Amino acid sequence: MDDHKTKLSREAQARIDFVRSVIPKNTKHNHRQAVITTLGILIVVIILWIAFFGGSSKTSVTVKNKPNVPKAVSLTTTPTTTYSSQFFAMTMTYPRNWILKDSKHGLITITSPLTNLTSDTYKLVKGQVILTFAQQGSIPSGFNGGTHLAVLNSALVAYTNPTQFQSSQTYISFVQYPTTNVIGGLNGVYVTGNYGYQKDGVIPASEIQTINPLITATFRQCQNTACKAFEPLTITSGSWSSSPIGSIVTAIISSLVFTN
């Protein structure tokens, strides 16, 4: 009888040992490890999704009331002179070696000395920059008709000493005329006040017509050193910021003080 009980107890113990052998050890630890691994995979997936899709939105140019006011630009490396226009009720500073002409009837031009300019075909040519101040609505002939594009994002320029008659800053915009077929070709730089434009966006003539005075910088290629013979020039948009001409024109605009 006792031998029979002993045999049964041995068989029961053997079965218990078998069951224990097939049950995974540290079940709670394995479950915790699986949860941690799953969370890690989810975090990696989220990071990759943000990297590829979260930064794909375009940056737009704010048209009005941009809070970040840029620093004013000044002419510090060249002798300057100051000129006041009664017609436009404004004063400005420009380099002495630039030539100013005032019609006294709503048209002022300031012409640079002969300088190196990079054409839209990437050729270095001798030419000049003409900064023009005209009455409201006096749009240059190249701007009439067709679609005019911004070849760069508009840039904010802060006035050095703004008065109560002007804002603290203005946009300058980079215009390509419809007759220009070269990508990135820059025909003129316009002072556009509160109007800012994104690269490749359309610049409506209806908005340019409201600006007073209309201030533009255009370019011409000279056929001789005296520049008695010349023709309109389209420059590469990239050369505007990389050449001294862009800095000088921006500094003249920054110096403008309106008294009425």
* Closest by Cα among 141, 202, 139, 146 to 178: 146
Answer whether 188's CB lies under 8 Å from 246's CB: no
Residue 38: per-residue pLDDT: 63
**pLDDT value for 241:** 85
User: What's the pLDDT score for residue 14?
Assistant: 53
Query: Which residues have a Cβ under 8 Å from the Cβ of 216 and sit 6 or more positions away?
Result: 131, 132, 134, 140, 188, 189, 190, 191
133, 89 Cβ separation under 8 angstroms: no
Alpha-carbon distance of 211 to 194, in angstroms, equals 9
Counting as low any pLDDT under 50, the low residues of the chain are 2-8, 16, 18-19, 22-24, 27-28, 49, 51-70
pLDDT of residue 18: 46
